[in-house]
Amino acid sequence: MGEWLDEYPGLRVLAETTCSGAAGVCPDPVTAWWDLDLIFQPNVRERRFAYTVLFCLADHMGAAYVPYGHRSSSEMHVGTCTHRLAAMGRLPERVAALDALLAKHRPANAVEFTHEGTPRVKAPWRAGVIADAVSGLLGGRQLTVAMIGTVGLIAEELTARGHAVLVSDMEPTLIGRYAGGVRVQSALDNRVLIKQADVVLATGMILSNGTFPEILAMCREFNRPLCVYAETGSAIAEQLACTGVINLAISEPFPFYIAEGLSRIRLVRSEF
């Protein structure tokens, strides 16, 4: 899987990974770090999620979802140089740190949606925004969408818009089950699903679990547009769209829809 961030040095340049402060003084140190275990079911029509989220706070918040129970070296991060962590940490920690740095460079031309309420209310709203964004990329045509990562409400909304939906996941307990009326297939079948699809919609977790290069390569092999809906690395996804690496970023900056209050979703479409 590799440290795919090293293949896109432009991301690190934009984030000023070479620290601009005086020797030994970082202008954007890590001021707080959390490894937060989450078990939640945002809506009665959705599955139960169990993940750990790495939160990195510098000037802005960055985040990376990882498998439940994952532990970072959080006690060592606070007070350290965020730029150095983004360049030299383990991949999930690098993603959280780089996300925090890039959050101050968010594109001004994003289309933004906001909604306030409980997770029960915001979950279907979020799924609808994502489904509409994918439909827009398809020009309103009713085609086949390959979903990498299982979110039942998104599958429901895509189906309601007339799309055929194929879903895959890396979580063994989900394979063979149904989410949003669609049978979940193994991530080992991604190549087949991407070949069958007209567009690929992938979770931002592909950034933190190292599968991004593989999925991107398959999308390019079969000439399929790649959309990434991202809580993980939301600012990274926006920059990947701005630079033409992916076709569409559907980013969700912190605080996420799973928390009560105001949530934002930003659409950044590649102009390349």
Q: What is the pLDDT of residues 164-183, one digit of tens each?
A: 999 999 999 999 999 999 99
Among 99, 139, 125, smallest CA distance to 248 is for 139
Q: Are 233 and 203 in contact (CB under 8 A)?
A: no
Quote the tokens at residue 12: 């690190």
Phi, psi of 99 (to 5 degrees): -60, -40
- Please list the ranges in the chain whose pLDDT falls under 70: 1-2, 9-10, 12-18, 20-24, 272
Residue 35 has what pLDDT? 95
Residue 260 has what pLDDT? 94
Residue 23 has what pLDDT? 53
Residue 268 has what pLDDT? 97
